[in-house]
Amino acid sequence: MSCYISNLSSHILQTIFSKLSISTLQRCRNVCKSWQHILADPSFALLHQGCANDDNLILCLETKIFGSYSERSLYWLEHQGEFSHFDLAKTGTISKLNFIVHFVNSCNGLLCLCLNPFGHVIDTILCVSNPITGEYVYLPQLGYDKYSDENMCGLGFCSSTNQFKAIRIFFTKEQEDSILHAEVYTFRADTILLDDKATPRGFETDTWRSIGVVHHYNDWNKYCWRSFNAFVNGCFHWIINNECDYDHTIVIYSFHFGSEQFRTVSLPPSVHSDGHQCADAGVFRDSLYFSCFNHFSRDEYITVWVMRDYGVVESWVKLLVIKRVMPRLEPKDFKVMKFFENGNILVSVGYKLWLYNPERKYHELVEATKDKSITVISLSARFASIKDIMAGGKITNFG
């Protein structure tokens, strides 16, 4: 005798599935081939995109090192509504055994990862993945004489051409002046090769394209580049420190994926460019935010600003001030990871996660992660395959 749910139509099952959490959907995908087929249907990807509440979705990476062997696990951290109650569900592992793995950024449901071989400062590999479907693509590696790292690359989307692009910045070891160069990789959905499991294996005919020397902040020995999950308004953003200045002057630097030009973004008017070497940038409801640690005052605190109108310096608005209330909080370890609709903020301190309530000025350790050392990134859920997402950056409805 078949169960009642097996008699429901695919349309009704899709509607039910669209209301479930990501971790529950991944378990549903393993129940039977019929459910797996429903969840892999492009029409479900379209339905889920319209119904999903991405406000609760965070991806965690835990790395355990055992001598020369490392084990990396990916988890979904889903907020359950109560102040600090999260569920942690393992979603997979990264099988590159001899590589250090870093989150770079997320863009339109895709995740950019940087892989570095143990003991090597070159041979950086960029990987683009959809952790929902488990698909991934490795981009061509840098040449043997080029050096880059996880802070000098990023994934973006060009709305004028409907194409995803990646950027990487590097210098050549043979150069005495350490001048930085940039290359862009344009993704083309028609070049993705699929195996029997529909897993992208590469782009084969595609290559990185040089866009010349990085203007202004282009001396590897002088400037320290730091990247964040900060793709906003068609631009990827870095915070750059001038390591040769006594005050460690900082700037916000951006790359526009449409014009393929670098630009400087003005700091908030009341923020001094010197002395704030502990700074952070990211996305707050589709706007660029900037946070900095103020150590000129007797009461040390972190201020978070939001640029309401991108590119307009007068539109910077002070969002909140966070005092140093969290145990063992060092400004260099502090990063804003996620803004929730209810006003709470998920912050990373070292490799631990805290939830902070600005109104009550109350903080609490996220219980689900207290026994783990993790790095975290916010991500939109897309059940479409990488091929469908890359096909113009949108989910194609084949139904």
Residues 6 or more apart whose CB falls under 8 angstroms from that of 99 comprise 70, 115, 116, 117, 118, 125
- Domains defined for the chain, CATH in brackets: 1-40 (1.20.1280), 41-390 (2.120.10.80)
Q: Region 305-314: what's the mean pLDDT?
A: 93
Higher pLDDT, 53 or 263: 263
Task: Give the model's confidence band at 25: pLDDT under 50 very low, under 70 low, under 90 confident, else very high.
Answer: confident
Q: Over 70: is that where the pLDDT of 3 sits?
A: no
Residues 130 and 133: their CA atoms lie apart, in Å, by 6
Q: Which has the minimum average pLDDT: 90-99, 132-141, 365-374?
A: 90-99
Higher pLDDT, 216 or 328: 216
pLDDT > 90 in the chain, percent: 14
Q: Region 250-269: what's the mean pLDDT?
A: 91
Query: Which of 25-34, 50-59, 104-113 is predicted most confidently?
Result: 104-113
**321-347: pLDDT as tens digits:** 877 655 555 555 677 888 887 788 888
Give the burial class of 123: count Cβ atoms within 10 A of its Cβ; 0-12 exposed, 13-18 middle, 19 or more buried: middle
Higher pLDDT, 66 or 48: 48
Residues 112 and 82: their CA atoms lie apart, in Å, by 30
pLDDT at 338: 82
Q: Over 50: is that where the pLDDT of 192 sits?
A: no
Task: Give the model's confidence band at 163: pLDDT under 50 very low, under 70 low, under 90 confident, else very high.
Answer: confident
pLDDT at 220: 67
pLDDT at 118: 63
Give the residue ranges of DSSP H helices in 6-91: 10-17, 22-28, 33-40, 42-51
Average pLDDT, the chain: 76
Closest alpha carbon to 252 in 266, 233, 262: 266
pLDDT at 346: 85
Residues 125 and 116: their CA atoms lie apart, in Å, by 7
* Cβ proximity of 323 and 347 under 8 Å: no
Residue 124 has, within 13 A of its CA and on its CB side, a CA count of: 24
Q: What type of residue sits at position 356?
A: Y
Residue 268 is given by DSSP the state P
pLDDT at 152: 83
Q: Over 60: is that where the pLDDT of 14 sits?
A: yes
* Cβ proximity of 163 and 187 under 8 Å: yes
Q: What type of residue sits at position 112?
A: C
pLDDT at 197: 33
Residues 383 and 43: their CA atoms lie apart, in Å, by 10
Q: Which residue has the tokens 């008699």?
A: 7
Residues 393 and 39: their CA atoms lie apart, in Å, by 20
Q: Region 132-153: what's the mean pLDDT?
A: 76
Closest alpha carbon to 277 in 317, 335, 331: 331
Residue 53 has, within 13 A of its CA and on its CB side, a CA count of: 11
Closest alpha carbon to 344 in 56, 121, 27, 70: 56
Q: Measured in whole angstroms, how far is the alpha carbon of residue 253 from the centre of its chain?
A: 17
Rounded (10°) angle between helices 10-17 and 42-51: 40
Q: Is the C-alpha dihedral spanning 351, 357, 358, 361 positive or negative?
A: negative
pLDDT at 357: 84
